[in-house]
Amino acid sequence: MARFSQILLQSWVSGVARGSMGSAHFMIIVIHFIWIGIRSDGPFPTVFISYRVYIGIGVAMIIKEAIRDIIHNLEKMERDIDERTLDNFIEILTSAANVFVLGLGRSGLVARAFAMRLMHLEINAFVVGETITPAINEGDVLIAISGSGRTSYIVNAASIARERGAKVVAVTSYPDSDLAGLADLTVTIKGRTKIDGEKDYMKRQMRGNHHSRTPLGTLFEISALVFLDGIIAELMERFDKREEDLHHRHSSFD
């Protein structure tokens, strides 16, 4: 079977080189390898990847394509965010008595990374959901990070923050979402989220749509992290802080 597969692959490669490989030939190859995947002891993706590497479709190509997608989204974010939004965000942060950050899943990791840097800058920062997080009150601000802007826990938290007199900043891909509707300021960061995309396979094929190399909320989460690190850079400049100053506030246990 392995020898037959090798011959089949070689005929496909030579056919491509001559420009003589028809659709019927291609379908025979596809069906053959699907059959191998079903019959093999290992998972089909493993079998497929081994043959993909054999015919010269390198792993590096897919990795680089994903990196290019991420870079493209970051460049678009940098162009799209207006200075008024940035100024308002900085003003809200620097005038708040306490800064509360909130996100779930990978967005929650972004929120924690931002809170860590705020702490390094001697800003009172708390992560919503931790046991040591105090009550939010008037004069405080909640930074809520949600790609879809409709995650129920985050929307409810934003509603509570407003009821208690605190300001709300929404970081989301959807400026018309429930979360944005509760916010005093919305930072719109475009990027695919978990709710994006056509789920029907045939419709995707008819429209020429293909699965992204950056699944679910990857683009939003990475872009949000980079944006918030940019905010930290601006705060360092305003507070006249250097890296050495932040290091003095870094955890002693790392």
What whole-number distance in Å separates Cα of residue 16 and Cα of residue 5?
Answer: 17
Kind and range of the H or E run holding 185: strand 185-188
Q: Which member of 65, 221, 237, 243 is catalytic?
A: 221
Identify whether 65 is a catalytic site residue: no
What whole-number distance in Å separates Cα of residue 43 and Cα of residue 31?
Answer: 16
- Residue 70 to residues 20, 63, 158, 159, 171: CA-CA distances in angstroms? 37, 11, 29, 32, 18
Query: Based on the number of CB atoms within 10 Å of its own CB, is 220 exposed (0-12), middle (13-18) or buried (19 or more)?
Result: buried
- Residue pair 98/225 in contact (Cβ under 8 Å)? The answer is no
What whole-number distance in Å separates Cα of residue 108 and Cα of residue 48?
Answer: 35
Give catalytic residue positions: 221
